[in-house]
Amino acid sequence: MNALFFLEYKSIFIYLIVSLGLALVFVMVSYLFASQIGGIEKLSTYECGFEPFEDARNTFDIKFYIIAMLFIIFDIEVAYLFPWAVSFFHIGPFGFWISIDFFIELVVGYIYVYKKGAFIF
């Protein structure tokens, strides 16, 4: 039973190992070849790409938080697709229609957020 479990999720484990390895390689290469010289522009303070003009304790526009929450929600929903993709041939027609329902709810949620204007700045 244990061997069967690992066999079904082997592709996900390989994906995780390759993605972690690539992330480490990218970080190491950028650290080795990037310029480490600091300057006035590099060491200056900034907020969202522009110079601060008031106290740092001011509130941001709510759209920044909405976009961040929407990204997290849709990212987590897409993470549910990994187990579905691994067991696609074993779930049967009921599992297939449940996953289609999931996709429909995902698209309806996206359309609702778009209609509410959350993506417009």
For the chain, the domains span 1-44, 57-121
In this predicted structure, the answer to whether residue 24 has a pLDDT above a threshold of 90 is: yes
End-to-end CA distance of the chain: 52
Radius of gyration, CA atoms only, the chain: 22
CA 5 to chain centre: 26
Q: Which residue has the higher pLDDT, 70 or 6?
A: 70
Contact of 52 with 45, CB cutoff 8 Å: yes
- Statement: the pTM of the whole predicted model exceeds 0.85: no
At residue 105, the pLDDT reads 87
In this predicted structure, the answer to whether residue 23 has a pLDDT above a threshold of 90 is: yes
Q: How far is CA 72 from CA 60, 84, 85, in A?
A: 19, 20, 21
In this predicted structure, the answer to whether residue 46 has a pLDDT above a threshold of 70 is: no
99 Cβ neighbours under 8 A, 6+ residues apart: 84, 91
CATH 3.30.200.20 is the classification of domain 57-121: no
At residue 26, the pLDDT reads 95
